[in-house]
Structure 1
């Protein structure tokens, strides 16, 4: 599990580092006193868990969690704070835990271990089983960039390359009910996390460009408006 730590007080950040670094199967991607630096990492979706103080100058931990929630990023959040006043709002953002300072080491360790167990339990749900002629191909849903239906076949563009299947978009859409995926057009399903930009193609449609690949998808103006209202 990849973790990011942010607290504007060095003594509190140092304590978090000391605890988290000794948990097996954990990688600390960043540890910073700056919420702005943490935000840059969050935009890249480079972590699985953010452990953050709430009250920090310029950008608060609550605002970081709100960004994660609003953009539907696949990042869990644990607040470690001296202020109990944000608890109700924190759980509205579906944070994993809310830990009050000062706290014993075991409190944070158990919270992270509980999240790791929860992640393992849902790992199979995060896989897509693709029916092919004589095989069943298994891929991680989070690795899907977009899906295109052309003629009688469907191409699933993933981080590691394209995969062909004869399953229809309607069949695949039923398997991709996560908030990450959107039926952007009658011939396309897109993963919103990989979208780089939209380019106007016609009066009621746009071309979708993605991070990491040259292939493009289509999206209707109606779905662009939907994305802006509900995600961005």
Structure 2
């Protein structure tokens, strides 16, 4: 039986350079489709699934997240990636590992997703897991190759995968204490060469060569990442209304667009 997870790490250091100018100076997680920023709606979902400790890795526009933590000091902690402008997401993840050694859920701040994404990962028997969805057609997808339902490789180019794509990377993962330790070791080795490394390929795929990482697939998962104006339009019209309706059924009573 896997250890119960009470902590989540949210990677939020990046800047939305491909979004409209009005959002380039704000964190992507503060995009608002309902009454609250999408990152706060994500936190509501996490709390509804038993998470009571949220670590947010900040970078660009860190003050917005600092204020969020100030308003909810018993729930949210922040750690700053001071090298956010010249480092990748693996560096941000490694900063979080200074505050939590696992187990934890790992997710990105610019995601809109249905609550089932968390339920599937938390109920999965594997200690380590990376969530996959079916085809989204969203553009800029990351495709995942597996072997015996375990992580093998990932790429935005299907032709570069060593096996047929099993699904698309959602950006929500389950990380055990053992995997967290391994990721820290991988990060330390990587940073002797470069800080420009991502947690997916340079971290998780590298770790999967040493430790099995399950890849549960939810073919019809409702979700979207917001990296550019096209993503934003898709999420606003095709994803968010349905996710908001599902959020309203959460047991804690928190929901997208609700206080």
TM-score (norm 2): 0.24
Which structure has more strand as a fraction of its residues? Answer: 1
* TM-score in terms of structure 1 length: 0.26
Q: Which has the larger radius of gyration?
A: 1
